[in-house]
Structure 1
Amino acid sequence: MPFLAAAVVIVGLLCLLDLLLTVGVIRRLREHTEQLGQLSAAGGDSGSLPIGAHVPQFEAGSIDGEPIGLDAADGTVVGFFSTTCEPCKQLLPEFIDYAANLPGGRSRVLAVVVGEDGDGAATAASLSSVAQVVVEHHSGTVATAFRTSTFPTLYVVAPDRQVMVSGHTMDVLRSPATAGAIG
């Protein structure tokens, strides 16, 4: 009988310990959820530049052989697409349609296709009529300047190279705030 009482006490202590650990995990999850919410509200994440950040100077070559940087055009739209990203493939037709109807034409749109050598040719070709297109590796000049590692990522950048809009869906480009930023 003493053995049974000891077993019940041990099981009870183990259940209490499990309960304390569960409460601790729930508290940490709430903290992380709050931090992610604050990060999201700030307009950015670890895979892109947040709203208000300044894009550093960069130079790259387009698929047409033209040098690319951020022009002084107000509200330059920048889209990053990966060749291995299914959401990118789904977003691409909407982005092309949006860019085709953008005032100022392709000079106000920069599309960056990120992939391995030769992977981005078809994607780049589909974008070339509506955007200046750069094809590069994940650690390429433009992706590094924008600190972009998640795809797709969309930006609107002001003439002073400040990020005015940042996000991962076409909703960010269609919002009233974006319409004012593009002018």
Structure 2
Amino acid sequence: MPVVVSLVIVVGAICLLDLVLTVGVIRRLREHSTLISELGGGRMPVPMLQDGETADAFEAVATTGEVVSRDGLSGNTLVGVFSPDCSACKERLPGFIRLARSFSGGRDRVVAVVAEMGGDTEFYRRELEPVARVVIEREGTGINKALHVKAFPAFGILGEAGKVVVSGLDPEQVVTPAAA
């Protein structure tokens, strides 16, 4: 009988210690959650230039031979920036294509940039050419650089002279009354 009592006391002590440690871990997780939200401000990362900022000058040649430049933009232009190795890019591609099809001004006012980082750029070219002027360029150059792209996919609407009207990580975020 004394052995059973001793075992019950040991098991009880272990359970009590486990409970104290679990409460400590939960408290620490709450502190970390608070710190992370304060650091990030609770906001999504900024994928490219923000509303009101102006893109640097750029000039690129689309896959169909058309020249695309900041100074050549007229009216609002829908821009999508993709990376072939990005799973979120493939996931959001259909939404961008839907938005591009209904965008005021048609294909002439839609630019799709594919960052050449390996992967199947041909897939993006085939999917996007019917609705956009497609530019394939190395990451960090050309239009990517002019828009200060920091995350993929990135979407935005550029107004006259390359001023960003709206930008975001999802094509649904760039719908404005002017885009509809």
TM-score by length of 2: 0.74
Q: Residues of 2 paired with 1:157 and 1:104: CA distance?
A: 13
Local SS of the residue matching 2:135: strand
Q: Does 1:92 align with 2:96?
A: no
- Partner of residue 5, structure 1: none
Q: Do the aligned partners of 1:158 and 1:164 also contact (CA within 8 Å) in 2?
A: yes
Listed as ranges, the matches of 1:125-164 within 5 Å are 125-164=126-165
Provide the residue aligned with 1:179 in structure 2: 177
- Of residues 21, 27, 33, the one that matches 2:37 is 33
Matches within 5 A, 1:9-158: 30=34, 32-37=36-41, 40=44, 45=46, 47-70=47-70, 71-116=72-117, 119-158=120-159
Distance in 1 between residues matched to 2:35 and 2:76, nearest whole Å? 36
The total of aligned residue pairs comes to 160
Give the gaps of 5 or more residues in structure 2. Answer: 1-23
Question: In 2, are the aligned partners of 1:173 and 1:179 still within 8 Å (CA)?
Answer: no
CA distance in 1, matches of 2:118, 2:86: 16
Per-residue displacement from partner, 1:80-117 (whole Å, max 9, x unpaired)? Answer: 11100111111111211211121211111000011236
Report which of the two structures shows the higher radius of gyration computed on alpha carbons. 2
Q: Distance in 1 between the 2:66 and 2:49 partners?
A: 25
In 2 relative to 1, CA 146–97 (structure 1 residues): closer, same or farther, beyond 3 Å? same
- Confirm or deny: 8 A CA contact 1:107 1:131 kept in the other structure: yes
Contact map agreement 1:99 1:131 (CA 8 A) in 2: yes
Q: Look up the equivalent residue of 2:106 and give its one-letter code.
A: G
1 CA distance for matches of 2:124 and 2:102? 19
Please report how far the alpha carbon of residue 28 of structure 1 lies from its aligned counterpart in structure 2 after TM superposition: 7.5
Equivalent position of 2:10 in the other structure:
none
**Gap regions ≥5 residues in structure 1:** 1-18
**C-alpha RMSD over aligned residues:** 2.8
Contact 2:85 2:119 in 1 (8 A): no
